[in-house]
Structure 1
């Protein structure tokens, strides 16, 4: 996949898997920035009010349809859903960029949550989605914060990122900007453990890029 140039005029198609609070909010921000977005759920008919509200750039589909629709996929589903998504769509997911906003929560996701947290959620996600280029993004803040703070006057709110593939990271950075935030690259996918759950230094921080880098000990 060619690198995505900066700016919403690129009209990068995006698949949003899981159109709940986080997926619906971030996907709507991308639609408003000019990106065609397919929102997916197990029952696409339930997404009709959302896509009608967002206009002609938004559409609804099944998970399989959405994965085929775009080379960039935003995942915002319960973490326990990832193994099945990866198994059911292995061929269509190959070589695609996956922005992973799924958090591992023991009370909801069971033993696999503890395993993912121990391994590092980013690394664990890559294992469930072989052949993709995973970037952790948009997992640290609630949807109400994302909705309220998007596109605020500078300095914008920062979103931490972690990924191993340089091109996938560039795409994620551009999409964070298009959603109305400043990306902060923490490092490779293994560094996503620095913002994977409550209590980690990069999690839940309503901070500017300069402030977040300082909290994480990154170069300004």
Structure 2
């Protein structure tokens, strides 16, 4: 059992936190009005990408040595037409650069809250969470902490893969916002 601190208690934060709780972990939620002195071993950034900067500034010392799960998709929400990070980078890479003493993991950004809550994509197939990080032990700790929650976890490789994961997340959000897929649908992996 580990303590998991989830920044954000919206649909995604609540669904992710519940999955960690379902696997037997202690989960706490942190909102912008919270005052927290000690963060869990795993910290989830379940907020829109523009809100990440303030969290990193406010909690920089508390985040040192922690596993940081970045779920963000750095979508330009004004146009829904582009990502707001450089083409050769990712939100996760930008966060890792700002937190050199933390272990950054990209995860949950290619899933919707509804699929995390039901653990099914389109009410048919097991929800798969793709994770990427340069730290193999961090990926293992996240996978172990989710063991038994009902989600399928696949190691997608190094943090460099966050760029492709964010492009997938962006495409999925674009399709759902255009009502071409539902918010209970999404990408599934079958093997």
Same fold (TM over 0.5): yes
Q: Is the 8 A contact 1:82 1:128 kept in 2?
A: no
- Aligned-partner Cα distance in 2 for 1:97–1:109: 32
Task: State the partner residue of 1:127.
Answer: 97
Q: What is the total number of aligned residue pairs between the two structures? A: 171
Give the one of 49, 69, 88 matched to 1:79: 49
For residue 41 of structure 1, report the CA deviation from its aligned partner: 0.3
For residue 170 of structure 1, report the CA deviation from its aligned partner: 0.6
Question: Deviation digits for residues 68-101 of structure 1, max 9, x if unmatched?
Answer: 1312101110101122211221111111001111
Which of structures 1 and 2 has the larger relative contact order (alpha carbons within 8 angstroms, sep 6+)?
2
For residue 32 of structure 1, report the CA deviation from its aligned partner: 2.9
- Cα distance, 1:109–1:164 mapped onto 2, change above 3 Å: farther
Q: CA RMSD in A?
A: 2.5
- Aligned-partner Cα distance in 1 for 2:4–2:165: 24
Q: Is the 8 A contact 1:159 1:176 kept in 2?
A: no
Give the one of 130, 143, 148 matched to 1:173: 143
Q: Do residues 164 (structure 1) and 134 (structure 2) align?
A: yes
For residue 117 of structure 1, report the CA deviation from its aligned partner: 5.1
Task: State the partner residue of 1:91.
Answer: 61
| TM norm structure 2 | 0.79
Gaps of 5+ in 2: 173-185
Give the one of 18, 21, 26 matched to 1:36: 26
Task: State the partner residue of 2:182.
Answer: none
Q: Do residues 15 (structure 1) and 5 (structure 2) align?
A: yes
- Aligned-partner Cα distance in 2 for 1:39–1:185: 26
| TM norm structure 1 | 0.69
